[in-house]
A and B are shown apart, each in its own frame.
Chain A
């Protein structure tokens, strides 16, 4: 298996390059959903992290019982359990 840190650095470089290109208008792509068209997305029911304290507990329960960890989209930090 490739060293995960190396793998991550390659990914981050690729993602950064993509975003730098999208930030510059050289690709000539316009944002296709205007701010005034985002009322559905702004509805609180659309927020997966609407109950952060509950999500932290779910993550803790699963991390203690499953081997997979990471990429939850939150800060993480380890289970602290044995």
Chain B
């Protein structure tokens, strides 16, 4: 298969590149051991999702570390898509990840396996990443590949079973530019193939034979999707000990979606025990080629979508975070710990997705918009 051949070629290129780059300077070190426990909550647009999450990381030597991650989403949904054609539902999603990191001089290799499991969706993926410090440790090059396999089912229909696969290739450069400024450039190509629809979603079309004037049929998506992302990030140390972060990403794919997002973050310590974080992020995308809010008739084209995530829209996030660094008297033994809370307020504005539950008549309803509150409260221990 072409993709497999290309992945093999990539690994060969990566290995050759990393062997040839063997700079002479100080050896890198693995990140310290840590444990994090988090409660997360998302509420907006008729959806409430919350649950716990745990991340554990432990070194067994100076060159080997293991990570374990568990995440639970408890979902109750009465979103606008659900309300227009189905009934509210609730479900749980469990996600687990295990990872291994191996450090050899300045080369860090990581392997990660992940599984996400819900009633009607099983996703499994594996990823390998290699990164290398070079040029007096001013530069870090990273390369990675991932493979994911998904099994899609439809609740209430035992006969329904579909598959999809995902291939990812990524590369990045991190560069120290001055004693106060670093920048990163990351690229990622993603190829999906198989069943990429949501099995529950429908599109709507004008149907004069129906008293409501509207008919519904299942969405039909292409069976392949190729996308490419480029992200530029920078971190700047301000003279009074605060940090400024900048990110810009450009995304485009074979479904003709173009997206841009830009984010500005600011972290400000107060005394020895408090850190404040602020962020603002803006995201904008164009619609998929085969998206329409209202099709003129049934089977109007070969591919059909009315998923609002494929429409033309923008969103704005305002975020605030506080971290309290526990004094020694409140820490366990020699450990160091922190308690944090983060709150994001996100507003979504859709430019060609109408709210079918609103008045106005078919195709003349107001454009949909909603806001969401996202909370993360977590406790981190370094040991």
Contact = CB atoms under 8 A, between A and B. Distances in A.
A19 B107 CA distance: 14
Interface of B: 2-3, 6, 9-10, 13-14, 16-17, 20-23, 25-26, 36, 38, 40, 42, 53, 55, 69, 71, 73, 93, 95, 97, 99, 110, 112, 114, 116, 118, 120-121, 123, 125, 127, 129, 134-139, 141, 143-144, 146, 148, 150, 152, 166-173, 176-180, 182, 184, 186-191, 198-200, 226-231, 233, 235, 237, 241-243, 245, 249, 251-255, 257, 259, 261, 265, 267, 269, 275, 283, 285, 288, 309-310, 315, 321, 323, 340, 342, 344, 348, 374, 376, 378, 380
10 contacts: A8-B169, A8-B170, A23-B21, A35-B136, A46-B243, A52-B36, A66-B259, A71-B230, A76-B188, A81-B93
Q: What is the interface of chain B mostly: helix, strand, loop, or mixed? A: strand
B234 to A, nearest CB: 10
A11 B187 contact: yes
A43 B237 contact: yes
A16 to B, nearest CB: 3
Contacts of B134: 19, 22-23
The interface size bin for chain A is 35 or more
Contact of B198 (A16, A57, A82): A82
B374 A70 contact: no
Given A20-B21, A48-B235, A78-B123, A33 B315 contact: no
B22 to A, nearest CB: 7
Contacts of A76: 127, 146, 168, 170, 188
